[in-house]
Amino acid sequence: MTHAAIHSSRRHFLSQIAIGAAAFTARGAFAEELTRTPAQTEGPFYPDKLPLDTDNDLLIVNDAITPAVGQVTHLSGRILDVRGEPLRNAVVEIWEADNTGTYIHTRSASQRQGDENFQGFGRFVTGLSGEYYFRTIKPTPYGPRTAHIHFAVKTKGRDRFTTECYVKGEPQNKQDSLLNRIRDARARRSLIVDFAPVANSRIGELAARFDITLGSTA
């Protein structure tokens, strides 16, 4: 995978995201109340020291040439309220382990040698449509945990909300204690999304869509 190929594919996908976002600007006043995204623990490995680069491209750190190891994933979605209304200016953070199962956290990094080319953490501020976008890697299982990506969302008038996104079809989902702690089946399914191949991608990219529905204001 060349640096040029990665950035070319990123530009193409970002243009598609921009086109698609326009379709989500319609207000949700006539929709039924949406299923609220279940909250989950922040976990022990939210970065204890944020990286210098905190943009929404986790595959490239600053101006490095070498990308992170892993299957390129375009992760997008919207931040909504229960009426389906998009939430503007929501600060969306994600963090996940690299392909070795290492987080950017001193307790995690001390256990093994991680991928120094993986940013591990990213941040995005939503616009009018409530849309966010990250370029990252497909998560992989490690230890007792199934594959997952951590999310945190902060919006005006609401407490900081944390949850996790899981991979549809991952066998370890059935044994994951945190995922199965959610007793409501519909709510649990809302955290599990398809990581699908991007059509005509020359480097085997994936796309995943994960919408987050927040409850009433704090």
Query: Can you give the pLDDT at residue 111?
Result: 53
Average pLDDT across the chain, whole number:
86
For the annotated catalytic residues, the residue numbers are 103, 142, 145, 148, 150
Whether the Cβ atoms of residue 172 and residue 146 lie closer than 8 Å to each other: yes
Segment 51-76 mean pLDDT: 93
Whether the Cβ atoms of residue 121 and residue 50 lie closer than 8 Å to each other: yes
Structure tokens at 44: 């022990």
Note the pLDDT tens digit of each residue in 107-161. 886 556 789 899 999 999 999 999 999 999 999 999 899 999 999 999 998 999 9
Show the DSSP H helices in the chain as ranges.
Answer: 3-22, 106-109, 185-189
Note the pLDDT tens digit of each residue in 76-89. 999 999 999 999 99
Query: Can you give the pLDDT at residue 3?
Result: 52
Q: How far apart are CA 154 and CA 177, in angstroms?
A: 26
Percent with pLDDT over 70 in the chain: 82
CA 75 to chain centre: 6
The most confident of the ranges 8-22, 26-40, 98-112 is 98-112
Segment 190-218 mean pLDDT: 92
Q: Is the pLDDT of residue 180 over 70?
A: yes
Query: Can you give the pLDDT at residue 114?
Result: 85
Percent with pLDDT over 90 in the chain: 67
Q: Is the pLDDT of residue 5 over 90?
A: no
Q: Is the pLDDT of residue 35 over 80?
A: yes
CATH number belonging to domain 3-22+37-214? 2.60.130.10
pTM, two decimals, is 0.84
